[in-house]
Amino acid sequence: MASEIKSDKLSPSTGTSLTIGDASDTITIPTGATFTITDGLAVSGGGTGLTSFTAGDILYATGTTTLAKLAKGTAEQVLAMNSGATAPDWGSVDLTVLPTITAVKGGTGQTGFTAGDLLYANSTTTLAKLGVGSGSDTLKMNSGATAPEWVTVAAASSDFVKLATVSCTAAPTVVMDGHFSATYDKYYLYWQGIYPSAHSDYLRMRVNASGTAITASNYRTTQPTSANNGGTGEVGYKAQYDTDHFFLTNDASNTHGTLYTQGGWLMTVNDPLGTAAAKIFLGDSYVTINGGGTYNWRNLLGCTYNTAPAISGFTFYWSTGGNFAAQGDFILYGVK
């Protein structure tokens, strides 16, 4: 049976050293009992040498046999070595001293950017930056297909291009001039919704040279005409030679009433700037007489100017000098 000794104090019989048990003995302190070391348990004995802590304290060695405690830092501080590299301390991160992080470490390898820069890989482990392009530039691969680059894209071109639109105003003439060039082989001149303000004029055209209408008697016009009158077909023909204008609507329609609307007209113009041959214009028009569609006229036009000036444009006017109604357009297209 184990021995039991009850005593308030054990002291060495001599000196200041007291040994409890032998090296092979097990000293047991029962659960629930309190074992108090008044002066603390030194590091050499497996303790900390400290008697108390504050929540958040961190222990660190100050020597081979001593520990110290570092109080907790403030919010968002990081633990680092002090300037003397002797102990840890809390401090804020100095972003200016961070190293440049390479792409293989998840960074960019770049130290700065300019607004608009684009990042692209120039190898399996490095990134490069492409500076911002100029206004309206387009991003494309370079000729070696190794990197993107900014380029200025040429404006889109077409073989059929609208060159000009001239809207009618309340004036006796409409002039379309200065739009012919060597860029195009032929032109289409189209009009729609044109009619005279007085509803009693018939459309005329003169060619321009250097911006001025030619009035010499070199104009020749032929005009086969078909008409529909409430289901009754009519066919007519008109021609005039060596006059000072082309007629674009048939004077013969006057026998059926006044011209109310111009439905539409298309004329081809070939080589207007050439001076080797007479000028030939072919047209096709559709008009309505008396406003309610009582007569519907389709006119096929063959127009020849019997000399060969370089033509710069056209002047349109009405047979009696009346004004255009302020509506409708003349539209010019170029064909390569």
Please state the φ and ψ torsions of residue 2, each to the nearest 5 degrees. Answer: -65, 145
Cα 278 from chain centre: 49
Distance of CA 222 to the CA centre of its chain: 52
Per the listing, tokens 């009618």 go with 168
What pLDDT is attached to residue 226? 74
Tokens in use for 106? 């998840």
Read off the amino acid at residue 5.
Answer: I
Pick the closest to residue 69 from 86, 84, 52 (CA basis).
Answer: 52
The pLDDT score that the predictor gives to residue 22 is: 84
What's the Cα-to-Cα distance from 225 to each of 176, 213, 268, 285, 333, rounded to whole Å? Answer: 26, 27, 18, 10, 26
Torsion of CA 196, 197, 198, 204, to 10 degrees: -20
The pLDDT score that the predictor gives to residue 255 is 45
Q: What's the confidence (pLDDT) of residue 243? A: 94
Q: How far is CA 122 from CA 49, 107, 139, 143, 260, in A?
A: 58, 15, 16, 15, 71
Predicted local distance difference test score (pLDDT) of residue 169: 94
Q: How far apart are the first and last CA of the chain?
A: 124
Integer Cα distance of 323 and 174 in angstroms: 10
Q: Which residues of the chain have pLDDT under 50?
A: 252-258
